[in-house]
Amino acid sequence: MCVLPFKDLACRLKEKPDCKGNLVAIKCDVSQESQILCMFEAIKKTHGGVDVCINNAGLHMPQTQLMDGVTEQWKTVLDVSALQLLITKIFIHSL
């Protein structure tokens, strides 16, 4: 996952002469289990699997203040946090 837009990250990496390899972006809504599964399958099919998984999925919604936040937004934040466990589980099983 990356905070920068993919194009910005790719440009920054190209500016570094010592960076080697390829940067591959796969669009994935980490709040949707089916998309997480498809992402890992695409990586496995194209690259043979995942070697390193930095699982940092999460959301920040400014409107989700503890005392006056909207319940549906809190549910979304919590769902994404819970699905991080699925990402880790899939990665471990893919080793």
Helix (H) or strand (E) holding 82: helix 71-94
Q: Which residues are within 8 A (CB) of 31 and not within 5 positions of it... i.e. 6 or more apart?
A: 59, 76, 79, 80, 83
Q: Which long-range contacts (CB under 8 A, 24 or more apart) does 69-76 make?
A: 76/31
Q: 55: pLDDT confidence band, cut at 50, 70 and 90? A: confident
High-pLDDT (> 70) share of the chain, %: 77
Mean pLDDT, rounded, of the chain: 76
CA dihedral sign of residues 79, 33, 36, 85: positive
pTM, full prediction: 0.63
